[in-house]
Amino acid sequence: MTSYVKIMPNSQIPKCSGPLVAVLAYDGLCTFEFGVAFEVFGLPRPEMGSDWYRYAVCGIESGSFKAAGGLVVSATANRAVLRKADLIIVPGWRGIDAPVPKSLIADLVRAHSRGARIMSLCSGIAVLAACGLLDQKRATTHWRYATSIGVRFPGIRLEPDMLYVDEGDVLTAAGSAAGIDLCLHVVRKDFGPEAANSVARRLVVPPHREGGQAQFIQRPVARERDNARLGPMIDWLRERLDQPHSIKYMAARAGMSLRTFQRRFEQVTGLPPGEWLIAERIRLAQEHLERDAIVTLEDIAAKCGFGSVETMRHHFRRRAGTTPGVYRKRFSLAARQLAGSTVIA
């Protein structure tokens, strides 16, 4: 028996004045990804104040839609809402190879041209790709779809190991649950780390997950003795990120040959040793930038093992898509209170 769901706004909730988020609804709607977008952007959060997100469900065609899980969905807004939305979310697509209506492509391209952010969750990358919004840009999707998308759209710089990729005006998430990571990232950018942490606590999820989806791709599971040998060493490294660590030294400390260590380290962490070290140093630098508004970038670079601000800035741009100074201005509560007195690097 099919259930019927009409997605209606709650008239008892005070209206917000923040960014307008429009989530697409369509025949074959991916309900998990749709639910993720609603939980983060559509669920009433009066504790966040009146400048929190506004939310709309945009039906790409008229009438009701059959959604995954035996539901029938009727949207409360049509594509007119795309003309004013600040963030448009494609919550997965009905099929990685399913055609995208030309009229929808035109609407999304127009919205993007006027400054709206366009975001896909999981297979929703197919819609962004069809719009040409990912040409010569980094993007990710579920590892099962990476080959198909890469063949059909060779101009996309796919990074299938990433949980999500933020290119500023276009954002993509990997598998379904990675949509939570990307949505929290957007909240973090728009409202700061405290807001993202609050939403994460309510969802009972970590505000930030380490690693990428490489750790979820089918591969031989690392043997328990490898975890036992590498676990203590990984903890040891995290306590000494300010120090230089060669891969050769790490392998010797783990009591493995260089080739064996590199292979098993990636099996356990999802990243090669060198990339893991950079990711951990970026994470530590982010913590300092959020917490220590007065500490200089030179001191943070030294504390995190980068050696110089230039090296930290290079890896920050590559990994976080921004500079340490801009990150500090966006995410440090103290920096926001100082009203922009922090110098941007």
Residues 263 and 281 in one domain: no
Specify the CATH number for the domain of residue 143.
3.40.50.880
What's the pLDDT tens digit per position in 151-196? 899 999 988 878 899 999 999 999 878 899 999 999 988 988 888 8
Specify the CATH number for the domain of residue 282.
1.10.10.60
Does the pLDDT of residue 306 top 80, yes or no? yes
Residues 75 and 157 in one domain: yes
User: pLDDT: is 253 or 160 the higher one?
Assistant: 253
What's the pLDDT tens digit per position in 121-145? 999 999 999 999 999 999 999 988 8
Does the pLDDT of residue 225 top 50, yes or no? no
Spatial contact of 19 and 50, defined as CB atoms under 8 Å apart: no
Residues 68 and 157 in one domain: yes
**Residue 130 belongs to a domain:** yes
Compute the average pLDDT of residues 97-106.
95
**How does residue 118 score in pLDDT terms, banded at 50, 70 and 90?**
very high
Residues 18 and 72 in one domain: yes
Does the pLDDT of residue 103 top 60, yes or no? yes
User: How much is the pLDDT for 333?
Assistant: 56
Residues 243 and 156 in one domain: no
User: pLDDT: is 292 or 82 the higher one?
Assistant: 82
Q: Phi/psi of residue 322, each to 5°? A: -155, 180
Cα of first residue to Cα of last residue in the chain, in angstroms, is: 59
User: What pTM does this model have?
Assistant: 0.63
Does the pLDDT of residue 1 top 60, yes or no? no
Residues 264 and 284 in one domain: no
What's the pLDDT tens digit per position in 156-168? 998 887 889 999 9
Residue 250 sits in which domain range? 219-270
Highest mean pLDDT among 64-68, 208-212, 247-251: 247-251
Residues 97 and 122 in one domain: yes
Residues 179 and 35 in one domain: yes
User: How much is the pLDDT for 228?
Assistant: 61
Cα 41 from Cα 85, distance rounded (Å): 13
Does the pLDDT of residue 63 top 90, yes or no? no
Cα 315 from Cα 278, distance rounded (Å): 7
Residues 19 and 55 in one domain: yes
Least confident of 25-29, 182-186, 249-253, 286-290: 286-290
Task: Determine what percent of the chain is predicted with pLDDT higher than 70.
Answer: 85
Task: Determine what percent of the chain is predicted with pLDDT higher than 90.
Answer: 47
User: How much is the pLDDT for 146?
Assistant: 87
Known catalytic residues are 122
Residues 302 and 227 in one domain: no
**How does residue 11 score in pLDDT terms, banded at 50, 70 and 90?**
very low
Domain count, the chain: 3
Residues 251 and 188 in one domain: no
**Residue 342 belongs to a domain:** no
**Residue 99 belongs to a domain:** yes
Cα 116 from Cα 84, distance rounded (Å): 8
User: How much is the pLDDT for 343?
Assistant: 36
**How long, in residues, is the chain?**
345
